[in-house]
Amino acid sequence: MYCYHMFGYKESYASELLSTIDREGALVPSLYFMRILAAKAMGLNDIEFIIHHLLPNVISPIIVAATLAIADEYCSVYESDGVDITKVDKDSKRQSIIPLYKLDTKWMVTRKMKSIEGIQYAKNLEAIELSECEISDITPLKDLKKIKYIELDRNRITDVSPLANLTELEHLKLYNNLIRDISPLKTLTKLNYLDVHFNVDNDGSNGITNADVVRNMPELDTLDLSANHITNVDAIVGLNKLRILDFSGNNVSDYANIKDKVFEMFSKQLDEYNNPERVSCGFFGQKLNVNQKVAIPATGGEFTFNSPYSGLDELAEMFELNTFFLMCNPSYVSNGMLDATEIGELGEGDKIIEEMIESIEYNSENKTFTVKVKPNTTTEKKNLKIDVNATTGELGFILTGIEINQETQSEETKTEGKPETKPEGNPETKPETKPEGNPETKPVSPVASQNKKASNEKISALPKTGGVSEGMSILLGSLVTAIGAIMLLSKKRN
């Protein structure tokens, strides 16, 4: 038997566990009662029955009841010591009622709580804080009309429609769930805090794509839409009370209508000494697919593509910059994911980039990116997939979908392409002759040829018509001198 006494609902369910009444009014054993009889027949004692059959079915409502730190008003996974949980400093160290366990998924941790069934009876509930659980169904909240504060971040929520009737809501934190559609929140006109960032799947796919619903939330002070796949945020223009805004890490391409709003907020953020309200704006990190698959000849070359961003250069000019794309750095992409290499070491992908990419530059006048590719001097064809991080300091924008295929020079092309090497200073000297019958003899490299030429100059400099070497001339001269001296001595003796 379990009673929802903490919710003010005290009806006992003992009779439901033991029996039900059929359509004809007859009392018949319930499924629960039959399970008890079956367990007894198998020889289970009371303790074994409770552990194996009873607890697994009642653990969820027990956990829900245990998390009600302040009955009827507040529900939290943390001890509150009677303090209003909506006023607690979230950065302070708080004692958790339910322990955390580590995960290898995007959520990283969990309290293993999967259901809030039973909380629907807490009619006076005003605040809920059930973060870092495994809750997927929030239907039990749909009729809690007094609730003003909800934090259900790091759960498994996909459907937010049960919140549509909670029109008194002022604070809603739903980040790191699996939500794709936030349009049911259009009725929550009193919201001053909305955090729905990072609602993508484990692999970064899906997530929220449309944020137009925030037009209906004029009271918003804090809005976090970051790390999703939102393509347009023009709806922020009419939010005049916004103090903290973040839509970074999405797929926004058009800044034409929002550049004034972004400039106003980000300018205040940069002026940290005159920003008592701590106004901030995250607008960078927009990832766009430029869909460039190009073929480059072995001799190298370049290709150009248009910038997918609109109004971004105009925003840069408001900050007295020519562009936000002062540096364009390529990142290797392997199997659709960025290559992860240890800091300070070149990964295999980085080596390929160094071998192939000469430069990537942005021209703000014609709004184009140009990628220059080096010649391929190897005997293998090359394929490279990259993302480009176009950045000014910490303000980066990401271009994806770039694939470069490069041919290789044939051995014949490489041989024909090399100029014939002749010794310097002696244009009449014949080129080196390769021995016959040995076609595999490698040509002499320019460096070796130079060394051999220098040695030959020291040893001999014979012209085509013949003659004697310089060394031989000296030797003959010495010999003639010696013979003359001997003949002179012979005459004196005579």
The model's pTM is 0.69
pLDDT at residue number 416: 52
H/E element holding 306? Answer: strand 301-306
Q: Which of 53, 56, 62 is nearest to 118 (CA)?
A: 62
Could you give the CA distance from residue 79 to residue 163 in angstroms, rounded to a whole number? Answer: 25
- Residue 256 CB contacts under 8 Å (≥ 6 apart), including other chains: 310, 311, 314
Identify the pLDDT of residue 394. Answer: 82
Query: Order of strands, edge to edge, in the sheet holding 382-392?
Result: 287-296, 395-406, 382-392, 327-334, 337-338
8 A C-beta contact, residue 111 and residue 91: no
Structural domains of the chain ordered from first start: 66-86+93-282 (3.80.10.10), 287-406 (2.60.40)
The DSSP secondary-structure symbol of 246 reads E
Rg (CA), the chain: 40
Q: How far apart are CA 258 and CA 264, in angstroms?
A: 10
Question: For each of the chain's 494 residues, which pLDDT tens digit applies?
Answer: 222 223 333 333 333 333 444 444 444 444 555 566 666 666 767 666 666 666 666 555 555 555 444 445 777 777 666 667 677 776 666 777 777 788 878 888 889 899 999 999 999 999 999 999 999 999 999 999 999 999 999 999 999 999 999 999 999 999 999 999 999 999 999 999 999 999 999 899 999 999 999 999 999 999 999 999 999 999 999 999 999 999 999 999 999 999 999 999 999 999 989 999 999 999 999 999 999 999 999 999 999 999 999 999 999 999 999 999 999 999 999 865 555 544 444 578 888 999 999 999 999 999 999 999 999 999 999 999 999 999 998 899 999 999 999 999 874 355 455 554 444 444 444 444 444 444 443 343 333 334 434 333 333 333 333 343 444 444 445 444 445 544 544 444 44
Dist. CA 189–CA 371, nearest whole Å: 48
Joined together, the tokens standing for residue 77 give: 């996974």
DSSP H or E stretch at residue 412: helix 411-416
pLDDT at residue number 75:
75
Pairing of strands 395-406, 337-338: unpaired
DSSP H or E stretch at residue 16 = helix 14-18
CB 330 within 8 A of CB 353: yes
Q: Which helix (H) or strand (E) holds 328?
A: strand 327-334
pLDDT of residue 99: 75
Token reading at 260: 């004034």
What was the pLDDT predicted at 157? 97
Q: What is the DSSP letter of 419?
A: P
Tokens 């980000």 belong to which residue? 266
Across the strands, what pairs with 296? 406
Q: What number of H helices and E strands is found in the chain?
A: 10, 20
What the block records as the tokens of 125 is: 């509930």
Neighbours of 464 (CB within 10 A): 8
- Residues 6 or more apart from 61 whose CB is under 8 A from it? 2, 4, 115, 117, 118
